[in-house]
Chain A
Amino acid sequence: MVAETQSFTAPRDRHLFARQLHLWLAAFLIFCAALSLQFGAADVRLSALLGKLVTGEPLSQMERIVLFDIRLPRLAMGGLVGAALAVSGATMQGLFRNPLADPGIVGVGAGAGLGAILAIVLGSMLPLGLTQLIGAQLVPVAAFLGGWGSTLLLYHVSTRGGRTSVATMLLAGIALGALAGAVSGILVYIADDQQLRDLTFWGLGSLAGASWGKILTAGPLIVISIAAALCLGRGLNGLALGEATAAHMGIAVQRMKSVAILSVAGATGAAVAISGGIGFVGIVVPHLLRLACGPDHRTLLVNAGLLGASLLILADVIARMVISPAELPIGIVTAVLGAPVFLWILLRRRGVVDL
């Protein structure tokens, strides 16, 4: 057998390329971050501020506010949300063994949407004291609870005797989505027109509401969830061969499924809560990466986090620049950029995708 080793050398390795891509994408993320700090509606430029830092000249109040209270939190939020959506998407796709799976499948989107609608429409009916206590955080908190709650419910429904049926979860997710949609419909009927407009804007998603408060609330949860998901690479690879085979290869399948679902619920729930509905990142980013360097989840998850963060930060730069000083909801930008790519993926894979 030793002789055979000599005669057969491994072909060019895309795993190696995937690992090199970590560095390239990290560089790209830094580039996007710089772009995001450099440009905005206000005439404050990072390049100028760096010059001032070197010369020791103090920043003006305007510059400080724009940089520290607007652009930095937006940058942080864009990065967190983009990474959360892309990593969650890759995790879901691995878990469901389907390249078109989306965090929405586990009911996060529907649940979060319902939570947000409840908060927007019924928030005014809460006792005044409570409203003041939660204040501006009411909608995000409700959206998170809705997303998290519906995922846990789905998980509970589809787990019997310590085994989670992914198929049951998928179907129950559709049912729960329909139910959430119906309840949302009733609430939309109750809503007044101001609330309806708020709902529309929430649904489109935006990073305009970025604040350090939101980042401090949602950030740790997103970071922990992503960190947990990044540990799943080996397990998700095994799962590509089916649950039984994964178990034969020494993967604790049930534990991995639990971690995957909880991390997706945590990351996506928190992301949707602070930014509203932002589409296509979760599907398009992992898919592009799979095309480039294969489906190995050990590298895919990390790359997805980096590319997701970069692209969402970039999308945000576009969102706030095209109609400056007003801005587009970022959901529109990701849809405009993401939908054609998604369509291209579908057409390219026609016949291979089976749901």
Chain B
Amino acid sequence: MIGAACKHTRRGSWTIAAITLATALFGAHTAWTVSAASSAHAEGSGDVLSLGGSVTEIVAALGQEHRLKARDTTSSYPPSVTDLPDVGYVRALSPEGVLAVNPSLIVAEEGAGPPEALEVIRAARIEYVEVPEAYSRDGILRKIEVVGDALGVSDRAEDLARKVGADLSTAMTKAERAEADKRRVLFIISANGGKITASGSGTAADAIIRMAGGVNAVTSFDGYKQMSDEALAAAAPDAILMMDRSGDHAVDDEELLSLPAMRLTPAAETRDVIRIDGMLLLGFGPRTAQAVTELSGALYGGEG
């Protein structure tokens, strides 16, 4: 009996030792392989770390993509930048990850963080430029100017801003409608499980809808909120706008429009669901004029 109990205890010791050791080996192995692989990173040849999708787009539009060394997770356009190392989500950066990239300049959209990471970056005396965010034509031009100054290509930035500004003005003028003709647009950011989270006012979606000559169907709150079926029916959107996330967000039109909340809306009758790439639509970068034209075209037909 004593023997059996001892064996039991000993087996317990072995179990814990095995689990602990396995974890340790796994950790060590991960560390080793990754650190060995890190030298083989497909690092960009430049010395600039770009944080924020629209910032990266502007850098590329300024013809400075070759200067990028790394990017954050939200930077996915132009597609070529996805080859660069990813330092993580722009608001949850790892300080060592940023230092590991060893940039001499960081261009970051407003709200990058956390503050502890920024503190370390400051301590490392890496030049850090924050690009202010604003959902408007002037806001975009201001971003271009700031990024251009940071990269020391102010002239190019001026050219780009002039061109983007002109495109935006043209697109917005074309999209302009008389108040009575404006269609009511509902931007849905998520329809998971039949629960619809839509945009109120003060968001990038709200801004792009207005720039494209539409009216945001929901203005009773700020930001993105889950809405009740009745509130959605009462919002009576003429069209529904969603991000086109190429597949991973598989609520198809049929499913969406058959939701009780949607069935009563004018949009369901006309089956008017517009899907546009999220970064293009909400990025407020150099491509926003294109987004305005696409959205306006989708809303009002070819003449938009």
Chain A interface residues toward B at CB < 8 A = 11-12, 14, 17, 28, 31-32, 35, 38-43, 45, 61-62, 65-66, 69-71, 135-136, 189, 191-194, 197-198, 201, 206, 208-211, 214, 288-289, 291-294, 307, 310-311, 314-315, 317-318, 320-327, 329, 337, 341
Contact = CB atoms under 8 A, between A and B. Distances in A.
A320 to B, nearest CB: 6
A70 B99 CA distance: 10
A41 B97 contact: yes
Nearest to A321: B34
Interface in B192-248: 203, 222-226
Contacts of B166: none
B27 A42 contact: no
Contacts of A197: 89, 91
A136 B16 CA distance: 39
Contacts of A294: 9
Nearest to B114: A209
A192 B39 contact: no
Interface residues of B, number: 59
Nearest to A65: B124
Q: Tell me whether chain B's interface is mostly helix, strand or loop, or mixed.
A: helix
Interface in B70-124: 70, 73, 85-89, 91-102, 111, 114-117, 119-120, 123-124
Given A35-B27, A201-B91, A318-B27, A341 B19 contact: yes
A337 B23 contact: yes
Given A43-B38, A194-B91, A317-B27, A135 B97 contact: no
Contacts of A189: 225-226
Contacts of B125: 61
Nearest to B91: A197
Contact of B120 (A65, A326, A329): A65
A324 B92 CA distance: 14
B114 A208 contact: yes
Contacts of A314: 23-24, 27
Contacts of B87: 325-326
| Chain A interface SS verdict (over half) | helix
Contact of A17 (B13, B24, B28): B13
Contact of A192 (B86, B97, B124, B222): B222
Give 6 nearest A-B pairs by CB, closest first. A326-B88, A325-B97, A41-B100, A39-B31, A291-B12, A42-B100
B95 to A, nearest CB: 5
Given A39-B35, A61-B125, A208-B94, A325 B86 contact: yes
Nearest to B90: A197
A315 B27 CA distance: 7
Interface string B29-46: 011101100110000000
B15 interface: yes
Contacts of A41: 38, 94, 96-97, 99-100
Given A292-B16, A326-B73, A192 B223 contact: yes
B178 interface: no
Given A41-B96, A135-B115, A321 B30 contact: yes
A192 B133 CA distance: 15
Given A62-B124, A209-B114, A11 B34 contact: no
Contact of B88 (A11, A62, A327): A327
A136 B116 contact: yes
B20 interface: yes
B133 to A, nearest CB: 10
Nearest to A314: B27
Given A28-B20, A206-B92, A289-B16, A62 B27 contact: no
B30 A318 contact: yes
Interface string B1-18: 010011001001101110
Contact of B119 (A12, A62, A211): A211
Given A292-B13, A325-B87, A337-B23, A208 B120 contact: no
Contacts of A191: 223
A210 B160 CA distance: 41
A91 B119 CA distance: 36
Q: Which of A32, A189, A194, A325 has the most CB of B within 10 A?
A: A325
Contact of B100 (A289, A311, A322, A324): A324
Contacts of A310: 20
A65 B116 contact: no
Contacts of A11: 2, 5-6
Contact of B95 (A208, A307, A317): A208
